[in-house]
Amino acid sequence: MLSRLPQKGTESENEKDKLVYFSYINDMPISAADIAKETRKDAVLSKVLQYTLTGWPNCSEDDNLKPFFQRREEITTEAGVLQWGLRVIIPQKYGNRIQNELHEGHLGMNKIKAMARPYVHWPKIDLDIEKMVKDCHRYAEGKNMPAAAPSKPWERIHVDFAEYEGQKYLVLIDALSKWPEIIPMTTTTAQNK
């Protein structure tokens, strides 16, 4: 209840909040006005918007509304755009477009989910992202491709710097035999040989 009480403040503070909000939401690949328009057209989100503005019923039997009903105390609206916390609730029409924007770099499932979670939300977002990534041919080609085992010594090495008691070392390890070569270094710059 306390989070819903209006805060005392000047008009300029409220204007600053709106400016930050609209700067944030208008940086998205879809404008706030487009999201608000589609929210009003979407059968489920239009009900969520109405309930958020006028009050939620005590229970919901509609399976489509259940994900929102469970979060009803955390859903707010600004200029017709629904938000769950700081996440913008995306209408179904724009779900694929947002996914394509997130998937543009082919970063993999976990990174795409991590990029999406702070900013956007829709029911089954994780499942949609998983399906999109699994259907991606580029992802499938590189998935779980183990590095070929070396066939001879020093064909593949692991290199790193280490420090022990103030002394720096260059550590090389042969991937086949696991033989270490440890070279004392005075500095760890590329010019040092």
Query: Per-residue pLDDT tens for 154-176?
Result: 999 999 999 999 899 999 999 88
How many C-beta neighbours within 10 Å does residue 32 have? 18
Q: Are residues 115 and 57 in the same domain?
A: yes
137 and 153 in a single domain? The answer is: no
33 plus 103 within the same structural domain: yes
Looking at the whole model, is its pTM more than 0.85? no
Angle between helices 109-116 and 92-103 (to 10 degrees): 120
Q: How far is CA 188 from CA 74, 168, 172, 183, 191, in A?
A: 51, 8, 14, 11, 8
Structurally, how many domains does the chain consist of?
Answer: 2
Residues 114 and 167 in one domain: no
pLDDT tens profile 88-116: 999 988 888 888 888 887 777 888 888 88
| Structural domain includes residue 5 | no
Question: Mapped to the 3 state alphabet, what secondary structure does 115-183 carry?
Answer: HHCCCEECCCHHHHHHHHHHCCHHHHHHCCCCCCCCCCCCCCEEEEEEEECCEEEEEEEECCCCCEEEE
Q: For residues 52 and 100, state if they share a domain.
A: yes
Both 123 and 179 in a single domain? no
Domain that residue 24 falls in: 11-142
